[in-house]
A = this chain, B = another copy of it.
Amino acid sequence: MTKVNVYVTLRESVVDPQGIATTDALKNMGFAEVTSVRIGKLIELEIDETTTDIDARVKEMCDKLLINKVIEDYRYEIEEA
């Protein structure tokens, strides 16, 4: 089994209300050192290890379903397990 972690973040130009609310909550709780919080997604894929060209397949999955390219960026890491 090959494990792939896809890290999805909101584009910098996109407002992140959940992140802003979290920043405010942390500050109110006494964590004054926190200047910014942004909340993205971590998508953990398990892929059959006989798959050829995993890079191309993962990119295709991201383009077709996993990522909204209008508002999101992504990067991924492939790890053997």
**Chain A residues at the B interface, C-beta cutoff of 8 Å:** 1, 7-9, 19, 22, 25-26, 29, 31, 33-48, 50-51, 57, 60-61, 64-66
Contact = CB atoms under 8 A, between A and B. Distances in A.
A34 B47 contact: yes
A42 B8 contact: yes
A8 B5 CA distance: 12
B51 A9 contact: no
Contacts of A38: 43-44
When all copies of this chain in the complex are counted, the total is: 2
Contact of A34 (B9, B25, B35, B45): B45
Contacts of A35: 1, 46-48
Contacts of A45: 34, 36-37
